[in-house]
Structure 1
Amino acid sequence: MTTQDVSIPVENSDDIIQNLQAQLAEKMFDLFDSVVIERRSYFAENPDKVPNEGSVDSIINSYSTKNASVSGALGLVPGPWGMVAVIPELLIVIRNQLAMIYDIGRAQGKSKVLTKELLAGIFVTAMGASAGSLLVLHGNKVLVKRVTLRVFQQIVSLLAGRVTQQALKSAISKWLPIVGAAAMATWSRWMTQQTGKKAKEIFSKDIEVSENPVEEDIKPIDVTATTIPTSTVAQADVIGKSGVDMAKIQTLINLMRVDGTVKPEEREYIKTILRNANLTSNEIAEIRQTLSVDKKFSVDYSAIEASPDDAIGLLVDLITLAKRDGTFHITEKMYIKQVGRLLGFSDSDIEETIVAIA
């Protein structure tokens, strides 16, 4: 199979991604209200099921496992077309994440302020983006802005774009048979866990909902605005998607060689990923040439550090490759932990991800 066999023409790719965003936005719009209504009704009919503060961690684990099961069942085909085909499953994952946020709010005694705006604000914040249009944080207090229908539509549209970015920028290995399902499951579990942790953090504060709806146009959701230095963002823009995938593949090749033995399964794994990566023909030729040479790459992780989605994707890819040959060597684990720390993951996050990938 050649690179052309699995790639989408550049002129069509943007249209497909925009179509995916539009479909997601249309279907996501009613999710927020429906989740609030459904969960409120459920707890009203089942008061004995109302969670308490001590159950928050189990709520997060339960929904994370549920979403991993949903994503693990996906049969993806390479590229944006594959994501368009699994919109129903993506919506299930999002609905579960919103229900989890609601349940955590109930567990932490915030039932009176559980509005669609609060759910959306936490959802946005969990993605690493600014939720200034919905949430205003003052020390230990959170002001939830009520917004008009038009403004909420804008927010959902931008959220759909952010979800699309996350899905497309996750693990390269998500496109691979069998292991791709494990990669998607792990990515979904991790993202749900991060959403739960952010919800737990916000619900620990005093929350107040504004009385009057706000009618103001919002700025595009910017994942970099409040969390990443401008210089790093600029560098990431220059490197681009090709540079991100190049860094990922260089890291994977380093891992492949770290135990001193390159197995046929590992070599085939790299070749398959090459066919699905966003690399130029020259970059692919360079990588293939180095596969036959005992050389360790010096990897620039700056672009990946600037993108949490790419970071967790690389971590998943590394673990998937290490377990590909059936033997998880100690040197491979040490290398994965080293890279994981460079990308900002804690040892516990890395261990959880290792365990999650069968």
Structure 2
Amino acid sequence: MTERNDTQPNSTSLPAVVSQDETSNRVTRAILDFISQIPDSKVHSHRDPETEARRLANRAAQRAAVTAGTLALPPGPLGWLTILPELVSIWKIQAQLVSDIAAAYGKHAELGREQMLWCLFRHTSAQAFRDLVIRLGDRLIFRRVSYSVIERVAKQIGVKVTQRALGEGLSRWMPIIGAIGVGGYAYYDTRQVAATAIAMLQSEIRMADEDDAARVVATQEVQATRLH
């Protein structure tokens, strides 16, 4: 009778060094800390901001791929311990990218925590922004909300990010192949951040308090009812 080898990882049991709830809470705290400061930019307003933005995006995506792939090289449990440092390193690259793209469009002063959160994570969990952002034609209206609302949004994003990161983490038991996959996702993810930032900055950006935002939503609902 063959003895069961309990040391082999599988898709249903995570290494003891990882707790999904604990990791999700740490990711959420990291997100909240991260969006509290907007990076400065040395990029100047550009005559062709979209072309400059895509050039910046290509460069940042390559850096993100190399960074993520390198951090994913340690095998086994050591690889799991690099998950949060990898995420933070990639966010730094992406946040600087958003800052630089905004500067290229001459709109760096319009960046706040809501806009940074939207650019970095909208493609990860669009549903989380339901109470934060209203799209009205070619305008994006960001609600001026309390810290508790931002915290709730960050928590929803944190759960999604953690699920994806832990799924990737299983590949860290195959370090070379896993590093290539992690690096490829970081490249794709950074390009998505750039696309969201470009779309946002090509739109009109407005801030609204809760009452104004509620009136906008009510107007949208009335118009939608009339169309039907």
- TM-score when normalising by structure 2: 0.76
* Shift in CA distance, 68/10, structure 1 to aligned 2, threshold 3 Å: closer
Q: For the residues of structure 1 that align with 2:79 and 2:20, how far apart are their CA atoms?
A: 11
Q: Quick one: which of 159, 164, 167 aligns to 1:166?
A: 164
What are the within-5 Å matches in structure 2 for residues 92-107 of structure 1? 92-107=89-104
Letter in 2 for 1:200: I
Q: For the residues of structure 2 that align with 1:3 and 1:112, how far apart are their CA atoms?
A: 57
Shift of 1:64: 0.7
Deviations 1:255-289 (A, max 9, x none): xxxxxxxxxxxxxxxxxxxxxxxxxxxxxxxxxxx
Q: For the residues of structure 2 that align with 1:188 and 1:11, how far apart are their CA atoms?
A: 22
- Retained in 1: the 8 A contact 2:25–2:155? yes
Residue equivalent to 1:31: 34
DSSP 3-state at the match of 1:198: helix
RMSD, aligned α-carbons: 2.9
What are the within-5 Å matches in structure 2 for residues 236-255 of structure 1? none
Shift of 1:178: 1.8
Task: Please tell me whether residue 127 in structure 1 is matched to residue 124 in structure 2.
Answer: yes
Q: Quick one: which of 60, 68, 79 aligns to 1:71?
A: 68
Q: For the residues of structure 2 that align with 1:114 and 1:170, how far apart are their CA atoms?
A: 31
DSSP 3-state at the match of 1:199: helix
Task: Please tell me whether residue 6 in structure 1 is matched to residue 8 in structure 2.
Answer: yes
Deviations 1:58-112 (A, max 9, x none): 1111111111111111234458x84344312211111221221222222223223
DSSP 3-state at the match of 1:26: helix
Residue equivalent to 1:147: 145
* Shift in CA distance, 4/77, structure 1 to aligned 2, threshold 3 Å: farther
Q: For the residues of structure 2 that align with 1:197 and 1:147, how far apart are their CA atoms?
A: 25
Shift of 1:157: 2.0
Residue equivalent to 2:134: 136
Q: Quick one: which of 19, 32, 43 aligns to 2:22?
A: 19
Residue equivalent to 1:335: none
* Shift in CA distance, 192/11, structure 1 to aligned 2, threshold 3 Å: closer
Residue equivalent to 1:205: 203
Shift of 1:3: 6.8
Residue equivalent to 1:86: 83
Q: For the residues of structure 1 that align with 2:5 and 2:105, how far apart are their CA atoms?
A: 51
What are the within-5 Å matches in structure 2 for residues 1-358 of structure 1? 4-7=6-9, 10=13, 16-34=19-37, 36=38, 38-39=39-40, 42-43=41-42, 49-52=43-46, 53=49, 54-74=51-71, 75-78=73-76, 82-130=79-127, 131-170=129-168, 173-211=171-209
DSSP 3-state at the match of 1:109: coil
Q: Which moved more, 1:89-98 or 1:169-178?
A: 169-178
Deviations 1:6-54 (A, max 9, x none): 32775987x71111111122222121122x1x31xx44xxxxx325203
Of structures 1 and 2, the larger Rg is shown by: 1
- Which of structures 1 and 2 has the larger relative contact order (alpha carbons within 8 angstroms, sep 6+)? 2
Unaligned runs of 5+ in 1: 44-48, 215-358
- Retained in 2: the 8 A contact 1:98–1:123? yes
Deviations 1:304-335 (A, max 9, x none): xxxxxxxxxxxxxxxxxxxxxxxxxxxxxxxx
* Shift in CA distance, 12/63, structure 1 to aligned 2, threshold 3 Å: closer
- Retained in 1: the 8 A contact 2:133–2:140? yes
- Retained in 2: the 8 A contact 1:127–1:195? no
- The count of residues paired between Structure 1 and Structure 2 equals 203
Q: For the residues of structure 2 that align with 1:154 and 1:213, how far apart are their CA atoms?
A: 20
Q: For the residues of structure 1 that align with 2:28 and 2:80, how far apart are their CA atoms?
A: 14
Q: For the residues of structure 1 that align with 2:142 and 2:7, how far apart are their CA atoms?
A: 48
DSSP 3-state at the match of 2:205: strand
Letter in 2 for 1:118: Q
Q: For the residues of structure 2 that align with 1:171 and 1:197, how far apart are their CA atoms?
A: 26
Q: For the residues of structure 2 that align with 1:121 and 1:146, how far apart are their CA atoms?
A: 13
Letter in 2 for 1:88: P
